[in-house]
Structure 1
Amino acid sequence: KDDENINSQPFMHWRDRFLYCMEAVNRASAATAEVKGHYLNVTAGTVEQMHERAEFAKELGSVIIMIDLVLGYTAIQSISKWARKNDMILHLHRAGNSTYSRQKNHGMNFRVICKWMRMAGVDHIHAGTVVGKLEGDPLMVKGFYDTLLQPHTPVAPELGLFFKQEWASLGKCMPVASGGIHLGQMHQLLHYLGEDVILQFGGGTIGHPDGIQAGAEANRVALESMVQARN
């Protein structure tokens, strides 16, 4: 995926990056006969620029685009409606949330952002890893995941859920575990987060001593081995 800090810098213009990334995606799809994708970050300075980038990603055949939380809630809902209309997956990076969700004396809990983004129609959101860079209390993170996935969340103070919530027919939002995780934590990730989750290994893949492809293969072997062992 693109990093949250990547939008369109002079050394990496967004249009060039999209072209190079989709070339790699198409090569990987052809080599494996599997659907591949790259989260193309369409975050921009204006809503119009964001939609221009999203349209270009669609023209290139991408199945997914990415935005940052710092876009603001109006822009997020705008691109969410565009994604529904154009049959695209919308991935949201929670960049900027810590300025008001990790402060002890002001702001709000990240659980509230999970609710807002689910209502806004986002498909993916970074929701914590328990282990790794976005570590957090396991019960608190489970509260985030339940808020994103469950059709009904009962009162559960140990998870930080102090009021019951009926989601009726509103769609789910897939939680994403990303940030400082690697295959050596696979048993912990599946234990705490379950199997209904997206696991993203960036540096944990690139840092493999035998290279990036070997890192990707190792991730998949570790995941499939743990899933088989659990079931």
Structure 2
Amino acid sequence: MSERIHATYWLETPLAPQRAAEIIAGEQSSGTFLALANETDALKARSGARIERLEMLDVVGAPSLPGRYADQARFSRCLLELSWSVDNMGVSLPNVLATVAGNLFELQGVSGLRVLELRLPRVFAETYPGPAFGIAGTRRLAGVPQGPLIGTIIKPSVGLDAAQTAQEVRQLIDGGIDFIKDDELQADGPHCPFDERVRAVMREVEAGADRLGRRAMVAFNLTGELDEMKRRHDLVQSLGGTCVMVSLNSVGLVGLRELRRHSALPIHAHRNGWGYLSRHPALGWDYRAWHKLWRLAGADHLHVNGLSNKFSERDETVAEAARAVLEPLWPETPMPVMPVFSSGQTGLVAAATYAVTRSQDLIFAAGGGIFGHPDGVAAGVTALRQAWDAAVQGVPISVHAETRPALQRALGFW
């Protein structure tokens, strides 16, 4: 018997829930809107999607999403689990995506639909090896054997030239930073060309390694066409770089997969655009399901937003995303990746972040939380480390700050 893929949905429908489930199952497997003679019972048994679970939640009087509905319609909400034979699409992530999240969200009989969970059989690990470096490889290359990687993002997002970017990197390296990344908006513009930026920054990375005895990890944003990304990767590697960055929704699953095949460096995966896939609670994806595709395709680091962030996600949602990234994909094939916390982060959320993850295997990226320190970048980095020390030791940050001037001064502006 073929192995099966399982997807769980939150479904809202003006139809009888069983009928809606049958329509969705048919639409995403062997059926169409009309019964056809060659869709035999044997074919449906082999290739039809199977309704594994249908659990009623409640009924409401108004739809979550606009559409064409009958007057006075009532809308049933339920949990729906479907499964498909792997033989329908083969061991192929792009085609899994087309199956579990294809022509569903726009169906007339759907007034709300969200992918909550995705379970793939372990056969996918034979084709998709997942991250090449993950947590252990990232720690080794960054020279940070324990504790969170304290990181930051080059700001302003765009506008600095290569020399100005390198000058900022020098400050951060001298301040003791572990990890630096390009903003996702900084790619290969004429004011800061990729090649020129990488060469200028890597000169500072190498000089910093000579001065301080450790090499900061810099994630260069190489997002672009496939051949461009491969060439850019090779330049970073040739200059001694230890990380590259890519925007997932810009390059797609195939782009990430091909970069993973080619890359000899960790891939820092940015999820920009996540809001249009997730912000409406009745549409799109939960991160628990979505991130698995990218993890299998080869991401080493995955963004999860941050607690008390500047965006719209609630802390509970961020915590759930982080826990999902830290969980094994399969007990025997965990494929560990490193979650990345960012978006308005300061030392004030270190304790809460540690409480929800119970882990220091993460990148904690702060921009203003470092650069805004009144005593400079080095004090900003030191204050973040001290905030994390307090969190891990279970000491209130205000108490920890009493004998640590950098942290005490940081509390005044965080």
TM-score by length of 2: 0.48
Larger fraction in strand: 2
Aligned to 1:169: 333
Q: Distance in 2 between matches of 1:224 and 1:28?
A: 25
Choose from 339, 344, 352 the match for 1:180.
344
Larger radius of gyration: 2
Aligned residues of 1:130 and 1:192 also touching (Cα < 8 A): no
Aligned residues: 213
Q: Distance in 2 between matches of 1:27 and 1:213?
A: 17
Q: Distance in 1 between matches of 2:391 and 2:305?
A: 20
Choose from 259, 278, 298 the match for 1:121.
298
Aligned to 2:320: 143
Do structure 1's residue 200 and structure 2's residue 365 form an aligned pair? yes
Aligned to 1:42: 222
Shift of 1:59: 0.5
Shifted more, 20-29 versus 178-187: the winner is 20-29
Q: Tell me: CA distance 1:184–1:135, structure 2 relative to 1, closer, same or farther (3 Å).
A: farther
Q: Distance in 2 between matches of 1:74 and 1:200?
A: 28
Do structure 1's residue 209 and structure 2's residue 374 form an aligned pair? yes
Do structure 1's residue 63 and structure 2's residue 63 form an aligned pair? no
Aligned residues of 1:102 and 1:109 also touching (Cα < 8 A): no
Shift of 1:51: 0.7
Shift of 1:149: 2.0
Q: Give SS of 1:208's match.
A: coil
Q: Any gaps of 5 or more consecutive residues in structure 2?
A: 1-180, 396-414
Amino acid at match of 1:73: L
Q: Distance in 2 between matches of 1:105 and 1:228?
A: 40
Percent of aligned pairs with the same amino acid: 27
Do structure 1's residue 18 and structure 2's residue 198 form an aligned pair? yes
Amino acid at match of 2:233: A
Aligned to 1:52: 231
TM-score by length of 1: 0.83
Aligned residues of 2:247 and 2:271 also touching (Cα < 8 A): yes
Shifted more, 193-202 versus 132-141: the winner is 132-141
Amino acid at match of 1:65: V
Q: Distance in 2 between matches of 1:170 and 1:187?
A: 26
Aligned to 2:109: none
Do structure 1's residue 112 and structure 2's residue 289 form an aligned pair? yes
Q: Tell me: CA distance 1:37–1:205, structure 2 relative to 1, closer, same or farther (3 Å).
A: same
Choose from 185, 190, 199 the match for 2:354.
190
Q: Tell me: CA distance 1:4–1:167, structure 2 relative to 1, closer, same or farther (3 Å).
A: farther
Do structure 1's residue 31 and structure 2's residue 195 form an aligned pair? no
Q: Any gaps of 5 or more consecutive residues in structure 1?
A: 153-165
Aligned to 1:73: 253
Runs of 4+ in structure 1 deviating by more than 4 angstroms, as ranges, are none
**Relative contact order (alpha carbons < 8 A, sep ≥ 6): 1 or 2 greater?**
2
Q: Distance in 2 between matches of 1:208 and 1:2?
A: 21
Larger fraction in helix: 1
Shift of 1:28: 2.7
Q: Distance in 1 between matches of 2:314 and 2:277?
A: 18
Do structure 1's residue 5 and structure 2's residue 185 form an aligned pair? yes
Q: Tell me: CA distance 1:197–1:49, structure 2 relative to 1, closer, same or farther (3 Å).
A: same
Aligned residues of 1:126 and 1:177 also touching (Cα < 8 A): yes
Q: CA RMSD in A?
A: 2.0
Amino acid at match of 2:389: E
Aligned to 2:279: 102
Shift of 1:134: 4.7
Q: Tell me: CA distance 1:185–1:148, structure 2 relative to 1, closer, same or farther (3 Å).
A: closer
Shift of 1:20: 1.8
